[in-house]
């Protein structure tokens, strides 16, 4: 069965997300044509939204680093982009929804890209009134698909695809695709539109980047040898 990742194509994105995003919206249609991305870097580097706002979408782009923010403003001049210099977190004034409200921006978007290299899980968990039709959230694909534990906050370790999928499901979203760095989710309402695609998580998440660390039974074996062979030293 075909996969959305078959349409992966890179214009600005890191791992072909541009092509997947295009295919998703060809499938479900667009409504607000608003996209949100943080950390947006300079607006172009590995961006999941640049291909959208360069083609008529309105973008809300948030970047915490001041130097990158200045580059962001420069690179988006002439486009329908609203740039914000802020640090997004999962509580208080730094919550995404509170930042949008502080700038008098509506809580509606077709697409949201969450990419902060670590606490992405907690940002996704903090969303309440904001319900984008499509969410791309950074994951740690070196973790096995069946590893479903939530990450430790502030660890900069990232989340397994399964932990993100489980969290997204509690918010009314379905997993539909992934790349080396991002999981894609659509609303439960739009989920059935992807019945012609393989959207099962584990086959899509299994790949070349997965590594396992196995723990052996060395201590148990040494203990057993010492009991059965008293004259043998460890």
pTM above 0.75, yes or no: yes
CATH of domain 4-228: 3.40.50.150
Q: What are phi and psi of 84, to 5 degrees?
A: -130, 130
In contact, 70 and 40? CB cutoff 8 Å:
no
Q: What is the pLDDT of residues 163-207, one digit of tens each?
A: 999 999 999 999 999 999 999 999 999 999 999 999 999 888 755
Strands (E) in the chain, as ranges, are 34-38, 58-63, 81-85, 111-114, 134-138, 173-178, 182-187
Flag whether pLDDT at 215 surpasses 60: no
Question: Confidence class of residue 141 from pLDDT cuts 50, 70 and 90?
Answer: confident
Bridge partner residues of 63 (DSSP): 85
Q: What is the pLDDT of residues 71-122, one digit of tens each?
A: 999 999 999 999 999 999 999 999 999 999 999 999 999 999 998 877 899 9
Flag whether pLDDT at 31 surpasses 80: yes
């Amino acid at each position: 069965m075909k996969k959305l990742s078959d349409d992966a194509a890179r214009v600005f994105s890191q791992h072909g997300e541009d092509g997947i995003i295009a295919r998703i919206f060809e499938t479900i249609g667009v409504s607000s044509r608003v996209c949100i991305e943080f950390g947006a870097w300079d607006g172009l580097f590995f961006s999941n939204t640049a291909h959208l706002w360069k083609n008529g979408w309105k973008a809300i782009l948030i970047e915490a680093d001041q130097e990158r923010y200045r580059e962001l403003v420069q690179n988006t001049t002439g486009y329908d982009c609203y740039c914000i210099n802020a640090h997004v977190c999962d509580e208080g004034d730094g919550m995404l929804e509170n930042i949008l409200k502080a700038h008098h921006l509506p809580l509606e978007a077709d697409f949201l890209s969450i990419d902060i290299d670590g606490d992405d899980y907690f940002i996704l968990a903090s969303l309440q009134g904001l319900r984008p039709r499509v969410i791309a959230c950074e994951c740690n694909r070196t973790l096995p698909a069946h590893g479903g534990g939530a990450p430790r906050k502030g660890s900069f370790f990232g989340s397994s695809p399964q932990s993100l999928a489980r969290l997204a499901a509690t918010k009314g979203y379905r997993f539909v695709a992934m790349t080396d760095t991002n999981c894609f989710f659509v609303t439960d309402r739009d989920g059935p539109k992807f019945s012609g695609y393989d959207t099962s998580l584990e086959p899509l998440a299994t790949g070349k980047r997965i590594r396992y660390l196995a723990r052996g039974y060395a201590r148990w074996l040494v203990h057993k040898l010492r009991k059965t062979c008293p004259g043998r030293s460890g």
